[in-house]
Structure 1
Amino acid sequence: MPEMMWSSICVALAAGIGEKFLCRVTLFNLFTKIFENKQYVLLWSSIFSSVLFGLFHLINLGHGAALDATFQQVYYATAIGLAFSYLHIFTNRIWPCILMHFLLDLQPNIANMNAEASPWGPILIIFGIVIIVSIICIYAFNKVEN
Structure 2
Amino acid sequence: MAHISPNDVTLVYEVSGNAIIEGWFTDSSATVHVCHSLHKFILYCLITQAKVVIGNNVKEPVQGEGTVQIHLATINILTLSNVLHVQSIIKCLISMSQLDIKGFRVSFGYGKVIIDEGRFIMGEGHIQGGMYKLDEAPQNFINIFGDSSCFLILNNTDSQL
State whether TM-score is above 0.5. no
Higher helix share: 1
* Structure with the higher strand share, 1 or 2: 2
Higher relative contact order (CA closer than 8 Å, sequence separation 6+): 1
What TM-score bracket applies, with the shorter chain setting the length? Answer: under 0.3
Structure 1-normalised TM-score?
A: 0.24
